Every structure is written in structure tokens, then in C-alpha cells.
Amino acid sequence: MDRIRVRGGSRLNGRIAIGGAKNAALPLMATALLTEEAVILTNAPALADVATMGGLIAQHGLRVEHDTEGRRIILDGAANQFEAPYDLVRKMRASVLVLGPLLARYGQARVSLPGGCAIGTRPVDLHLKGLEQMGALIELDAGYINARVPAEANGGRLKGARIIFPQVSVGATENLLMAAALATGTTELVNAAREPEISDLAHCLLSMGARIEGIGTDRLVVKGVDNLHGTTHAILPDRIEAGTFACAGAITGGELLLEGMRLELFGAFSRALREAGVELEEEAEGVRARRLNGLHGVDVMTEPFPGFATDMQAQYMALMAVAEGASMITETIFENRFMHVPELTRMGARINAHGSSAIVRGVPRLSGAPVMATDLRASVSLIIAGLAAEGETVVNRVYHLDRGYERIERKLAAVGAEIERLPG
């Protein structure tokens, strides 16, 4: 298994090209199941999760071609197989996003239950309840979701419904948005997630012929259509990759131009970073992130967009570990997303986590250590810490990083980091 070695102390300076967003690419790929015509995605990132989703969609019978050099994915054809097996869903929870499109277009789907993961239990009850409200019959059997739309009712199609989410869910909003696009009648999604990746999905669906109002708000109204057609859609920039590099630059006292990024995509993260002492400026080519002087402890609480993203919490904590003063970091989205705390502590950070909050007391310096993490953002937070630590940090289990960062060691090395991949 590959590892990544970082030697701390180098200041990062230069430009980093921000790729297309993983969390937009995955639902966008699932839209190909809503039509037999080609869906072409440009600005596509070459990530392990994107390859997994491509494998899943190919397995359903579509032709999937990923030109990693040209950053283009073509998904084309009709599905002839409706099962998403455990082996794929286990690797990537976002596999559950095929459920809504398969049900809406083909009236049937059998999808493995994703189960929990390192950051929490992550149930999919809101996805299932919403689809049931739209007329799907759902049974859980031997770890699988067996879902179908009865042929005798409503001509075998899902029907529009008013779905009120008791809690904001990105995945459930996406699944139901895709399902509603091909349902009969009007679907209203109330308390919908407002993440930029959802707006990106909605815009792609619009370009396929869907009728959606309220994009960017927490109330999406979808008037179902009989057919959707193919499209070409550019995936929006990855705000989490950009935020990760902003933290990496800041912890080294450097300055980075995050090419292709737009400031509005950061939500509350930009306010926290500025208060902490990092200047963020939008320029024609992207967002410039520059550490001014010292870093200061600033409290944050994770929330649905436009609040502070849970996917930035671990990276921000690494930054706070060397800030002057204390900061309280509260995680409200996932119940177990402090897996990086013991590893950061091994590097000399002073962090006290209790329940959903962690108090971070900044220290003047961290020290390198062999570390490992059990999820994507926790892993990258250890690289960020390693960039500022004295000596060498070796991060194990790099496959977590490859899920969401494209050649992270090359991107960081190109702006001055001493970092390399050690093949395992």
C-alpha cells in the first residue's frame, strides 16, 4: 500500500489548478441513467471515486469512457442490469445515487445498503422515504434495497410528491431531484440541501430537458417530464480541494493562487479563514490565498451549506493546531468525524475532543510522525500538519486520499512542498 512522506518547513508559493468537484461528478455521472443519449462531462477529475462510479454505471450496461488527459467522461446508452452490488457500494457510499435514476427511468433497482463508515452510521432512510412517497415499493432484504415502481399504478412511473426533509441531506436531495425529473406531476423538495454541487446537478438536469425551479434555495420544485436527452456539462470546481490547499498554503505561511476556484463556493469557510489571518481574494484566474502574519484561533461549527463544510473540518483543525490561542471546533453533521484528533495529537497538537466539540490549543510547532487515518479528509489533514511539522511525517493508507485528491503529492510538490509518494 502506498504511503506519502512529507518533510515540513517549506513555504508553499505558486499556482495550483483546482479540479472538478468529486461530490458533483458522482451525482452528475448518475444522471446518465435517466437517458439513453450521451451525457458528456467535462472538467472531470481523475479520482478513485470517479473510477468506481464509472465502473458501477458500466456494470448497469452503459458505455463509460473516461479520458483522463482530456478530463472528459462520456456515459452513453441504456441500462440493462439494475443491481448495484455490495462490493462497489462498500467502496463508495455515493453508489446509492443510482437508486433514484434507475427507479425513475426503469422502474426497478436493487442497491446494496451502504452501511456506516469511519465518520458515522450514515443511514439512507430519507432517500427511501422520499422515493416511497413518490410511489416506489421498497423492501430491505439481505443487506439490499429492493425497489420497484408497480406497473399497475401510474403507468409504472414515479409520481410527484411534497417531500419535507426533517434534516438536510445532500445525497437524499440529489437522489430525489433526479427521480423527480422523470416523475409524473410536480415534486416539491422542502428543506433541501443547498450545496453548490446540488445546483450543479440541477443545472445539468435543466440542460437535459428537466424543469426545476428554486435552484440554490432550500425549496426545489420539479415539474416531471416524459423524457430527458443527452447533454454536455462542465463540472464545477472542487471547493473542498481548493479549501484544503488554502489551509496547506496558510499553515506554511505561503501564498497560493487556486486556479479556477470561485470565492462564493467556500460559504462560511472563507469567513473563518479570513478571521484566522488568511487573506482571500478573487481574481480573474481563481482565488488567491495568502497568509498575512500570525494565525489566530477562530471557533467554527460545521453546518449544511452555506455554513462551514464538514468536509473542511479536519483540514481546518490542522491549521488551528498551530494558531495562536484556542479554537472550539464543533461537528454537527457526522457523529464520528474526529478520527484525525489522536493522530494530530501524536504530532504534538493539543486537542481535547469531547462529544461533538474539540478544543484546540495552538502550539508553536508540531513534530513529524508516522500517522494514518481512516477517512479521506482526516488523511489530508495529516499532510497539512506534516507540511508545518519539524522533521518527517509518513501518512499511511493513501488510498483514502486517492478517493478525493488527484495526484496530491505532485500538486503540492509543484508549489514547493517536500513531499513524495512511497510505493507500497
Ligand X SMILES: C=C(OP(=O)(O)O)C(=O)O
**Residues at the site binding ligand UD1, with contacts judged by CB under 6 A:** 23, 26, 93-94, 120, 122-127, 167, 169-172, 193, 310-311, 333-334
Which entry of 17, 117, 118, 328 is annotated as an active-site residue? 117
Q: How far is the CB of 72 from ligand UD1 (least distance, A)?
A: 21
Number of residue whose CB is nearest ligand X: 311
Of residues 381, 373, 260, the one with CA closest to residue 315: 381
Q: How far is the CB of 27 from ligand X (least distance, A)?
A: 11
Task: Give yes or no for a contact between 380 and 315, defined as CB atoms under 8 angstroms apart.
Answer: yes
Task: Give yes or no for a contact between 104 and 182, defined as CB atoms under 8 angstroms apart.
Answer: yes
Q: Which does 33 bind (CB under 5 to 8 A by kind): ligand UD1, ligand X, none?
A: none
Q: How far is the CB of 187 from ligand X (least distance, A)?
A: 24
258 vs 401, which CB is nearer to ligand X?
401
* Distance between CA atoms of residues 245 and 239, nearest Å: 10
* Distance between CA atoms of residues 48 and 70, nearest Å: 17
Q: Taking each helix axis from N to C terminus, what angle separates 22-30 and 239-251, rounded to the nearest 10 degrees? A: 170
Q: Which does 123 bind (CB under 5 to 8 A by kind): ligand X, ligand UD1, none?
A: ligand UD1
Strands 219-223 and 162-164: unpaired
Answer for which of 176, 404, 405, 409 binds ligand X (CB under 6 A) is 404
Task: Give yes or no for a contact between 221 and 214, defined as CB atoms under 8 angstroms apart.
Answer: yes
Q: Which does 169 bind (CB under 5 to 8 A by kind): ligand X, ligand UD1, none?
A: ligand UD1
Q: Which does 376 bind (CB under 5 to 8 A by kind): ligand UD1, ligand X, none?
A: ligand X
* Distance between CA atoms of residues 241 and 235, nearest Å: 14
Number of residue whose CB is nearest ligand UD1: 171
Of residues 226, 131, 236, the one with CA closest to residue 174: 131
Q: How far is the CB of 311 from ligand X (least distance, A)?
A: 4
340 lies in the binding site for ligand X (CB under 6 A): no
Ligand-binding annotation for 274, yes or no, is no
DSSP 236: P
Answer for which of 174, 200, 241, 311 binds ligand X (CB under 6 A) is 311
* Distance between CA atoms of residues 249 and 239, nearest Å: 15
Q: How far is CA 225 from the centre of its chain?
A: 28
94 lies in the binding site for ligand X (CB under 6 A): yes
Ligand-binding annotation for 11, yes or no, is no
99 vs 161, which CB is nearer to ligand X?
99
318 lies in the binding site for ligand X (CB under 6 A): no
Ligand-binding annotation for 93, yes or no, is yes
Task: Give yes or no for a contact between 126 and 165, defined as CB atoms under 8 angstroms apart.
Answer: yes
Ligand-binding annotation for 311, yes or no, is yes
Ligand-binding annotation for 101, yes or no, is no
Q: How far is the CB of 96 from ligand UD1 (least distance, A)?
A: 8
Ligand-binding annotation for 22, yes or no, is yes
Ligand-binding annotation for 366, yes or no, is no
200 vs 343, which CB is nearer to ligand UD1?
200
SS3 133: helix
Of residues 414, 415, 345, 410, the one with CA closest to residue 4: 410
Interacting residues with ligand X between 360 and 379 (CB under 6 A)? 376-377
* Distance between CA atoms of residues 360 and 351, nearest Å: 4
* Distance between CA atoms of residues 269 and 308, nearest Å: 5
Q: How far is the CB of 119 from ligand X (least distance, A)?
A: 6
Interacting residues with ligand X between 150 and 209 (CB under 6 A)? none
Outline where DSSP puts E strands in 165-274. Answer: 186-190, 211-213, 219-223, 231-234, 255-259
Task: Give yes or no for a contact between 249 and 231, defined as CB atoms under 8 angstroms apart.
Answer: no
Ligand-binding annotation for 23, yes or no, is yes
Q: Which does 135 bind (CB under 5 to 8 A by kind): ligand X, ligand UD1, none?
A: none
| 117 tagged catalytic | yes
So which residues are the catalytic ones?
117
List of residues contacting ligand X (CB under 6 A):
23, 93-94, 311, 376-377, 404
